[in-house]
Amino acid sequence: MGVLDSFRLTGKTAFVTGGSRGLGRAMAQALAEAGADLVLVGRDADSLAVARAELCELGRQVHTVTADVSTPAGAKSACDSALSLGVPIDVLVNNVGGRRLDVPTEDFPLDEWQRMYDLNLTAALVCCQELGKPMLARGTGSVINVTSIAGPIAIKGIRGRHYESAKAALAALTRSLGADWATRGVRVNAIAPGVFETDPNKKWFATKPDFRDSFLEHIPMGRFGVPPELGPAVVFLASDASSYMTAATLVIDGGFTAW
C-alpha cells in the first residue's frame, strides 16, 4: 500500500459527537473526504440536517443522531441509535466538550462541576464503552478524543478549572485505555487543539476583547487555528497511516504550549 493509500477511509464509518458545527464539523468533512461514511451527533436537528445535506454532496452516507451527550443516558442513547443502524462503527471521535462557565474554582458549584465532567469526560467514556466493545469484538477500531491544550496547562485570564481538570482526565483516559486495548486492535489517541475561533470562543472574545489580544500575543504563529487545520490529523489518527500509534496526543496549537 502506498503512503497516501494508508490514509484512505473508504468503507469505514465514523461517529462524530458534535459533528454538526465547529471543530467536529470540520473533522467530519475531512473524514468524509478521505472516504468515510458518517454518523453525526448533536442536539439540534436543524443544524444536523444542514451538515448532512452539505456532507452528502461528497457522495458518502451521512446519518444523523439527535441526542444530548452531556448526560451518561444521553451519550448511551446516541450510541444505541448509531448501533441500531446496523453498520459497524470503525472510528469514534469524542469531540463534544467545552468550558461553558467562567466561575472561580473556590466558588464553583459542585453540581455544575459534575455537569461539566459529564460533558467533557463521562460522555467520552460512555461512547468508548458502548462503541468500543463492538470494536474490541471485531478486533479493529480507532478512537480519537478531543482534549485541549488546557489539559497540560492552565489557560491564563479565565476561570473555572473544571475544564482544565476534565480535559487532563480525558488525556489520561486516552493514555491508559490506549495501553489497555493496544493488543486488541483498537487504538485510542487524542487531538489537543490550541485556540480556534469557533462559536464558544467568539462569545468569550466578545465579552473580553483584551483576552483575544493576549491570546494572539501568546501564540508563536500569531494567529488562531481554523477548523479545517484539524482535518488532516483526524484522518491520520482514524486511518492505517497511524497504525503504530496509540495512547498518544497530537498537539495542534500554533506553538501555544511552547512558551
Residues that bind ligand NAP (CB under 6 A): 17-24, 41-44, 47, 68-70, 95-98, 146, 148, 193, 195-196, 198-201
Beta strands (DSSP E) in 34-167 are 37-42, 62-66, 91-94, 141-146
State the alpha helices, DSSP H only, in 181-230: 199-207, 209-218
Nearer to ligand NAP, 44 or 80 (CB): 44
- Shortest distance in whole angstroms from residue 4 CB to ligand NAP: 27
Instruction: Classify residue 66 by its DSSP letter.
Output: E
CB nearest ligand NAP: which residue?
22
Nearer to ligand NAP, 33 or 68 (CB): 68
Is 244 designated active site?
Answer: no
Beta strands (DSSP E) in the chain are 13-17, 37-42, 62-66, 91-94, 141-146, 186-193, 249-252
Nearer to ligand NAP, 36 or 69 (CB): 69
Please state, as a whole number, how many other Cβ atoms lie within 10 Å of the Cβ of residue 71.
Answer: 16
Nearer to ligand NAP, 198 or 249 (CB): 198
Q: Name, in order, each residue with C-beta under 8 angstroms of 185's C-beta and a sequence gap of 6 or more.
A: 135, 136, 138, 139, 140, 141
- Shortest distance in whole angstroms from residue 244 CB to ligand NAP: 26
- Shortest distance in whole angstroms from residue 162 CB to ligand NAP: 11
- Shortest distance in whole angstroms from residue 120 CB to ligand NAP: 7
Nearer to ligand NAP, 70 or 189 (CB): 70
Rounded to an integer, what is the distance from CA 184 to the centroid of its chain?
Answer: 22
Query: Catalytic pick from 15, 113, 163, 215?
Result: 163
- Shortest distance in whole angstroms from residue 241 CB to ligand NAP: 22
Report long-range pairs for 219-224 (Cβ below 8 Å, ≥24 apart): 219/194, 219/195, 219/253, 219/254, 219/255, 219/256, 220/254, 220/255, 220/256, 220/258, 220/259, 221/254, 221/255, 222/254, 223/254, 224/194, 224/195, 224/196, 224/197, 224/254
Tell me the catalytic residues.
163
